[in-house]
Amino acid sequence: MESVTAAGCEDVFQFRISDVIAKKRDGLALSSQEIRCVVKSTMTGQVQDSQLGALLMAIRLRGMNPEETMTLTKEMVASGSVLTWPDEWSGWLVDKHSTGGVGDKISLPLAPALAACGCKVPMISGRGLGHTGGTLDKLESVPGFSSQQSPEQMLEILRSVGCCIVGQSADLVPADKIFYEMRDVTATVDSLPLITASVMSKKVAESLSALILDVKFGEAAQSSTIGDAKSLANSLVSVGVSLGIPTMAVITNMDSPIGRCVGNSLEVIEALECLEGTGHDDLRELVTRTGGYLLWLCGQADSETKGTEKIAKVLGDGSALECFRKMMEAQGVQPDIARSLSSSSTFRTASHIEELLVQRTGTVEFIKARPIAEILNTLGAGRSKATDVINHSIGAEILVRIGQHVEQGSPWIRIHYENPLLQDKQRQILQNALWISDRPVFKPPSLIRDVIHSQGTKEEIVPLRREGEIN
């Protein structure tokens, strides 16, 4: 293959993609210049699909060291534009990223709660694919809500409200779109350095003062073991810190659904309960503690505990709810709808609502999230391919909590469905998702199982881990 001088690469550097593929195939580290040329020449169409696929597979099999991963992240950021903010917002710009889960509506109360504490939250979120939900799908169940906001509109919303939740624009990290589409069809999605560069490039392009990552593990998470989740968290935190963003991660369990609802409009209703200071304990804990860590990390609270108290306060006094309503209005929702979101007329209700009953008396040991999410997806709550259309009213309310006593014959889950109808086989799978034991009632453990963080200087690449800090 002929060598090419990739646009933007130094003239003297003759870049041959086949050499780079061979180098990574043989387990060698790529130089910064080689990584820069891979990204630049991919953007200019000089790399063939087969070559990009081969390189991604070589990275998937051989890995990348922290230096390579950081360089790839930086070069991906440089493939597009970067959001810029007024200087006086420095120290206040925060965001959160979750690796995805079932019933994961944390962003919905968290962004306005942080805004109510004075932060600026330019939250860029995604859509659901497979069994995990997406924040944008949930918000789009609110009539009129628009996730498409230009950088200028984002700036204006942050000025007037303090937070926005938007989709990624085409000019932010365009290399990620090309890489991700290729990863999707070459079985290279689960590569740790590629996930790290993909997630962190988009966060770096937001020009943040602090970032928290919710890295989930368990049956319904991308990482099945806590060890895998910690490896991913370490990689993400390392890159964030080395690129100058104070970053930390919470490692959270994702075996059972978060909170009591799964499904787009039901999850918005549940998020509103949290914003009204009520709702399920595990959702509230995740919102207050991730928010608390973030306030501490960006220097706006003296400790994580003080940060958590600040978030609890704005959830209790209505100011977070007010920010949420203003964000809804600023993103296209009619004022009367934004003001009456919790009323039953805002969201369309599914035509069929059915309760399943507990089959034997005992203690709720476990509620398996994955089968519940998979069945709801086949009923229309989610997508199996990017072009599938979602029915926002499909979902489930879980009427019992882990650790509680339940009586045979009492309802434990309420399924909202339309067309297709719920089948007997699916009812059986749902029944098997509820595990009842004979042990006495118990308090379930916190979903936060560990915290990974760094004090965050530009030079510091290896994060400190505070093991055992959290139960």
Distance of closest approach, residue 235 Cβ to ligand URA, in angstroms: 12
Distance of closest approach, residue 440 Cβ to ligand URA, in angstroms: 40
Is the Cβ–Cβ distance between 221 and 333 less than 8 Å? no
Distance CA 177, CA 207 (A): 19
Distance of closest approach, residue 400 Cβ to ligand URA, in angstroms: 31
Q: List the one residue from 41, 42, 125, 198 that touches ligand URA (CB under 6 A).
A: 198
**Measured CA angle at 130 (ends 129, 133), to 5 deg:** 60
Integer Rg of the chain from CA: 23
Distance of closest approach, residue 180 Cβ to ligand URA, in angstroms: 6
The secondary structure of 111-134 as a DSSP string is: HHHHHHTT-BEEEE----BTTB--
Q: List the one residue from 129, 136, 195, 452 that touches ligand URA (CB under 6 A).
A: 195
Is the Cβ–Cβ distance between 125 and 135 less than 8 Å? yes
Q: Is 336 a catalytic residue?
A: no
Span from 82-90, 192-200, 240-248, 425-433 in contact with ligand URA (CB under 6 A): 192-200
221 makes contact with ligand URA (CB under 6 A): no
Nearer to ligand URA, 30 or 195 (CB): 195
Q: Is 345 a catalytic residue?
A: no
Total interface residues for ligand URA by CB under 6 A: 3
Nearer to ligand URA, 198 or 300 (CB): 198
Q: Is 449 a catalytic residue?
A: no
Distance of closest approach, residue 191 Cβ to ligand URA, in angstroms: 8
User: Which letter does DSSP use for residue 207 in this model?
Assistant: -
36, 74, 96, 97: the catalytic one is 97
Nearer to ligand URA, 172 or 337 (CB): 172
Nearer to ligand URA, 243 or 464 (CB): 243
Distance of closest approach, residue 291 Cβ to ligand URA, in angstroms: 21
40, 138, 183, 203: the catalytic one is 183
Give residues with Cβ within 8 angstroms of 239, minimum separation 6.
Answer: 66, 69, 70, 73, 196, 197, 200
Is the Cβ–Cβ distance between 243 and 266 less than 8 Å? no
Q: Is 280 a catalytic residue?
A: no
Q: Is 198 a catalytic residue?
A: yes
Nearer to ligand URA, 134 or 279 (CB): 134
What is the side-by-side strand order in the sheet with 210-217? Answer: 94-98, 210-217, 247-253, 448-453, 464-465
Burial per residue of 254-274, b for 16 or more beta-carbon CB atoms within 10 angstroms, e otherwise:
bbbbbbbbbbbbbbbbbbbbb
Nearer to ligand URA, 122 or 292 (CB): 122
Distance CA 98, CA 203 (A): 12
Q: List the one residue from 199, 287, 297, 323 that touches ligand URA (CB under 6 A).
A: 199
**Measured CA angle at 205 (ends 109, 234), to 5 deg:** 75
Distances (CA, A) of 168 to 21, 25, 194, 205, 244: 30, 32, 18, 11, 22
Which spans of this chain sit near ligand URA (rule: CB under 6 A)? 195, 198-199
Residues annotated as catalytic are 97, 176, 183, 198, 202
